Amino acid sequence: MAPDYYNRDPEDKGSYQKTVAMCVAAASLVILLFLVVLYVNSDKTVPKKPVAQTESDEEKEDDFLKDSHNITSTELEFWEDAQKEKKLTQKEEEGELTPYKNSDDPDSDPSSDTSLKKKDEKDEETTDSSTEPKDKKNRRDEDEEGEGSLNGDRADDAKDKDGYIAVTDDKGKKTYYEIIKSLPQNDYDFENNLINENGMLSYRDNKREAIKGVDLSKYNGAVDFVKLKDAGVGFVMLRLGSRGYGTGKIDLDEKFVEYAQNAKVAGIQTGAYFYSQAVNEAEAIEEANYIVGAVSGFNVKYPIAIDIEKVSGDEARTDKLTNKERTAVVKAFCDTVKGYGYKPVIYASKEMLVSSLELEELSDYDVWLADYDNPTDYPYRFTMWQYSKTGKIDGITGDIDLDLCFINYEQK
C-alpha cells in the first residue's frame, strides 16, 4: 500500500507538493507550445475565406474600369509610340512608304480616279454626276496608289517641295507622287499664255496655237454643228462605242454616225474614242479593230482614243487589273490603231495616268488629259486637254466637255 499522504511529515509534504506543481507547470507549457505550433501550421495550410467586398469597393473598381477606357497618350508614354508604329505598318502595307515605281499590286490602289463619262445602264457605263468628263459620269474608284506615294505626315512634308504631283480621289484623299524625270515633260507656259473667256480657254505661244474642241456622245442629244463651227470649234471627239463593264458586251454609240456626218458637212475635223473595259490584250485588240472598222468611212483625221476609267460605286470587270496588265491593254489598243495608219491617243484623268498606268511603257503615245484644275499641273507631255465638263457653247443645250488640242492632227 502506498504511504498515506496526510500522515507524512510537513517537510515531506512540501517537497511533494513542489514536485507535483512543477510537473503540472511543465505539462501545461508543453500543451501550450503544442497548441501554438498547431495554430501556426493551420494558418498556413487552411485557405482563408474571401472577405466580402463592400459596396464602396465595388464602386471603386467600376470607376477604375471606366476610367481605364479614357487613358490618354500623355498618361501612358508607350501609347503614342505604339500608335506611330501601327500607322507606319499600315502605310507599309499600303505601299505608301516605298520608292515610286507605279505599283503592279492590284491591292495597292488606293486612291481614285477622276470622273470621265456618262452612262445610263450598268452594261454601258457607270453613273455619278459629281465629276464627269466624257460621258458625264464619275467613275472614280479607290485607285491603285503607285509605290512611293506620300500620304499623311509624309504628304505634309512634300506639300512645299518641288518634284511631286498631287492627285485627289473622290473621297478627298490627296496623294503625292514623285515626278519621273525620265518621262517627256510638257513645255506649256500656262501662266502667261492661257486665256479664259467666259469659261472657254484659248492658248497661244511662240510655238503653237491650241485648237478648240468638244467631245460628244449620245447623251448630248441634238447638236448644231454649224453653230459649233461659228463658236470657234475646230474639232470634235466622238464616242464611237463602249464595252459594258458588267457583261463585256460591245455597243455602238447610236449618235456616232449622225454626229460624224454633220461634223463633216460643217467642216469640223473629227476623232473618235472608245470606252474600254478590256481585261486583256486580246480584248483590247478587239476594241481597236471595232473602232477602226467603224470610222473607216468618215475621213477621221484626229486621233482614235482608248478611254481608260475606273467604275465608281459598282464592281467592274477591270477592277482587279494590275498596273502592268492595264498598261498592256492600253499598249495593245494603241499598237493596233497605229498599225492601221491612224493616230492613237490615251484618254485618262490625271489620277488614272499617275497612279494606275506604267507611263514609262507608254511614252511613245500621245495623251488626252482629263483635268479640271485651271491650269493643270500635270507635268508630263500631253497633246490634248479636256479642261471642263460643265462648259457652255452655242449649238449644244446643257453642259458640254470642252477641249484644247496643242497640235494640228490634220497636218500631222
**Mean pLDDT along residues 174-179:** 93
Single out the residue of 388, 394, 407 nearest to residue 271, CA to CA.
407
**pLDDT of amino acid 3:** 45
Query: With contact defined as beta carbons under 8 Å apart, do 368 and 176 qualify?
Result: no
The answer to whether the beta carbons of residues 343 and 368 sit under 8 Å apart is no
Domain ranges of the chain: 6-34, 97-412
* pLDDT higher than 90, residue 124: no
Name residue 209's beta-bridge partners. Answer: 204
The residue with cell 455619278 is 128
142 CB contacts (<8 Å, ≥6 apart)? 109, 110, 111, 112, 169, 171
By three-state DSSP, how is residue 99 classified? coil
**181 and 162 in contact (C-beta within 8 Å)?**
no
Q: Say what the pLDDT of residue 38 is.
A: 67
Confidence of residue 31 (pLDDT cuts 50, 70, 90): confident
Residue 13 reports pLDDT greater than 80 = no
Residue 50 C-alpha cell reads as: 474571401
pLDDT tier for residue 74 given thresholds of 50, 70 and 90: very low
pLDDT higher for 314 or 95?
Answer: 314
Checking if the pLDDT of 128 tops 50, the result is no
**291-299, long-range: CB within 8 Å, 24+ apart, which pairs?**
291/240, 291/241, 291/337, 292/336, 292/337, 292/340, 292/342, 294/240, 294/241, 294/252, 294/256, 295/240, 295/260, 295/342, 298/260, 298/261, 298/264, 298/270, 299/264, 299/270
Q: Specify the pLDDT at position 351.
A: 94
Measured torsion, CA atoms of residues 378, 383, 387, 391, in degrees rounded to the nearest 10: 180
Asked whether residue 141 carries a pLDDT value surpassing 50, the answer given is no
| pLDDT band at residue 29 under the 50/70/90 scheme | confident
Class of residue 228 by CB neighbours under 10 A (exposed 0-12, middle 13-18, buried 19+): buried
Taking 90 as the threshold, does the pLDDT of residue 52 lie above it? no
When mean pLDDT is compared across 38-52, 142-156, 312-326, 344-358, the lowest value belongs to 142-156
Segment 245-266 shows an average pLDDT of 96
Instruction: Indicate if the pLDDT at residue 340 is higher than 70.
Output: yes
- CA–CA distances in Å: residue 253 to residues 49, 102, 347, 394: 87, 33, 17, 23
pLDDT at 61: 33
CA distances from 293 to 65, 76, 243, 334 (A): 74, 70, 16, 15
CB 175 within 8 A of CB 155: yes
The closest alpha carbon to 178, from 187, 165, 161, belongs to 165
Question: What's the rounded Cα separation, in Å, for the pair 216 and 149?
Answer: 34
- Residue 373 dihedral angles phi and psi, to the nearest 5°: -80, 135
Summary mean pLDDT of the chain = 76
Residue 42 banded pLDDT, cuts 50, 70, 90: low
pLDDT at 244: 95
**What is the spatial distance between Cα 302 and Cα 407, in angstroms, rounded to a whole number?**
10
Residue 10: pLDDT over 70: no
Q: Can you give the pLDDT at residue 41?
A: 60
Q: First and final CA of the chain: distance in angstroms?
A: 153
pLDDT in the model for residue 362: 98
Q: What percent of the chain has pLDDT over 90?
A: 56
Maximal CA-CA distance, the chain = 163
Distances (CA, A) of 266 to 218, 263, 391, 395: 19, 5, 21, 12
* Nine cell digits for residue 98: 516605298
Neighbours of 191 (CB within 10 A): 7
pLDDT at 162: 79
pLDDT classification of 404: cutoffs 50, 70, 90: very high
The domain made up of 97-412 has a fold known as TIM Barrel (3.20.20)
Q: What is the pLDDT of residue 393?
A: 97
Q: pLDDT category, 14, cuts 50, 70, 90?
A: low
Lowest mean pLDDT among 97-111, 114-128, 166-180: 97-111
Does a cis peptide bond (omega within 30 degrees of 0) precede residue 375? yes
Given this model, what pLDDT does residue 96 score?
47
**Mind listing the pLDDT tens digit for each residue in 343-398?**
999 999 999 999 999 999 999 999 999 999 999 999 999 999 999 999 999 999 99
pTM of the model: 0.66
As a whole number, mean pLDDT of residues 64-93 equals 39
Average pLDDT on 309-338 reads 95
User: Which pLDDT score is estimated for 16?
Assistant: 59
Q: Would strands 366-370 and 194-197 be described as parallel, antiparallel, or unpaired? A: unpaired
Residue 60: is its pLDDT beyond 50?
no
Question: What is the H or E stretch that residue 258 is in?
Answer: helix 256-266
Calculate mean pLDDT across residues 215-236: 97
Backbone angles phi, psi at 259, to 5 degrees: -60, -45
Is the pLDDT at 308 greater than 80? The verdict is yes
pLDDT for position 33: 77
Interacting residues of 277 by C-beta distance below 8 A, sequence separation 6+:
242, 243, 244, 245, 248, 316, 317, 318
d(CA 290, CA 306): 12
Judged against a pLDDT cut of 60, whether residue 166 lies above it is answered with yes
Please give the Cα distance from 146 to 357 (Å, whole number).
9
* Cβ burial, residue 335 (10 Å; 0-12/13-18/19+): middle
Please name the residue that has the C-alpha cell 447638236: 223
